[in-house]
Amino acid sequence: MRFLIVVAAAFMAASNYAQAASDEFSIRHTADLIAVCTIAPSEPNHASAIAFCHGILVGAYGYYDASTPAGGRFVCSTEPHPKRSKVMSDFAAWAKTRPEHMPNHAIDTLFIYLAEAYPCKK
């Protein structure tokens, strides 16, 4: 429950920023998410794009983590938890080698990657 309160507070604190970013970025497919997550540092909106990317990844995993009972999980984080920037760059590199996923829903592709990279040990 405490985790949900922390997540809710973080989302509320970022709501103004997220509204501005959502006007700038549109994520429909995996290709859209990868474009945002790998935007060149020289681009004027680099910081916003990377923050938006992190928000998508953290939000999707946070929802999964909070809503999926431990026994039903297919993605399990390692200890220590990987850094967001590493997961983001590894996901982008993985997706770029799998163009068949680019037209798919971004979150579906993210969880295909996470299931491969961070499978639960049974």
Q: How confident is the model at residue 8 (pLDDT cuts 50, 70, 90)?
A: very low
How far lies 38's CA from each of 34, 68, 85, in Å? Answer: 6, 29, 11
Any residues with CB less than 8 A from the CB of 107 and at least 6 apart, and which? 56, 60
Exposure string of 78-109, with b = 16+ CB inside 10 Å and e = fewer, is eeeeeeeeebbeebbebbeeeeebbebebbeb
Q: Who's near 103: CB < 8 A, 6+ residues apart?
A: 29, 30, 31
Which residue, 45, 56, 69, is CA-closest to 114?
Answer: 56
pLDDT tens sequence across 36-51: 999 999 999 999 999 9
pTM of the model: 0.78
Cis peptide before 80 (omega within 30 of 0): yes
Top mean pLDDT of 13-17, 52-56, 77-81 is at 52-56
pLDDT value, residue 23: 58
| Those residues with Cβ within 8 angstroms of residue 112's Cβ, 6 or more apart along the chain or in another chain | 101
